[in-house]
Amino acid sequence: MRSRIILLPLKPVSRPMRASAILLAGGRTRRLGKPRALLQLKERPLVWWTVKALSGVVDEIIVATAQGWVEPIARALPRRVRVIEDVFIGLGPLGGLHAGARAARHTWVAVAPSEAALIKPGLYRLLIKEARGREGALPTLSGRPMHLHGVYGRDPLLSRIERGISRSESDVAQALRGMRIARVGARRVGDVDPEGSSFLILSNLELIRAVEGGPLGRLLSLSNSP
Give the pLDDT confidence of 164-177 residue by residue, as tens digits: 999 998 899 999 99
* 136 contacts: CB under 8 Å, gap ≥ 6: 150, 151, 152, 153, 156, 157, 179, 180, 181, 182
Looking at the predicted structure, is the pLDDT value of residue 194 above 80?
Answer: yes
Looking at the predicted structure, is the pLDDT value of residue 203 above 70?
Answer: yes
In this predicted model, what pLDDT tens digit does every residue of 100-136 receive, in sequence order?
A: 999 999 999 999 999 999 999 999 999 999 999 999 9
pLDDT band for 31, please (50, 70, 90 cuts). low
Looking at the predicted structure, is the pLDDT value of residue 14 above 90?
Answer: no
How far is Cα 203 from Cα 185, in angstroms, rounded to an integer? 25
Looking at the predicted structure, is the pLDDT value of residue 11 above 60?
Answer: no
Angle (CA) 26-51-199 rounded to 5° is 70
Q: Please give the mean pLDDT across all residues of the chain.
A: 87
Whether pTM > 0.75 for this model: the answer is yes
CATH classification number, 17-210, choose in 1.10.420.10, 3.90.550.10, 3.30.230.10, 3.20.10.10: 3.90.550.10
Residue 150 backbone phi and psi in degrees, to 5: -110, 175
Looking at the predicted structure, is the pLDDT value of residue 222 above 50?
Answer: no
In this predicted model, what pLDDT tens digit does every residue of 36-56 receive, in sequence order?
A: 999 999 999 999 999 999 999
